[in-house]
Amino acid sequence: MQTRNKFFDDMSQLMTNAMGVAQGAKTEAETAMSSMVDRWLAGRDFVTREEFDAVRAMAQKAREENEALSARLAALEAKK
């Protein structure tokens, strides 16, 4: 017949509770860190990927137009 030892039952319960507290502290720390990083990033002038891609497309178009105008100007100057 197996008997239950009160000491081991209490220790088991204590460890279970400690793990629950540790998990809660971990979740709270992750939430606080995430919030701190979000606030830090919001204070910077970072652009979104969509904004970056839009400006990049505009720059590419301007570069192509500049090359076309340069070629046209060279052709007009060659005619003189």
Average pLDDT for 2-28: 88
Which tens digits make up the pLDDT trace of 35-60? 999 899 888 888 889 999 999 999 99
The b-or-e profile of 35-50 (16+ CB within 10 A means b, else e) is: eeeeeeeeeeeeeeee
Cα–Cα distances (Å) from 64 to 19, 25, 40, 60, 78, in that order, read 62, 56, 38, 6, 21
| Mean pLDDT, rounded, of the chain | 91
Q: What per-residue confidence (pLDDT) applies to 46?
A: 84
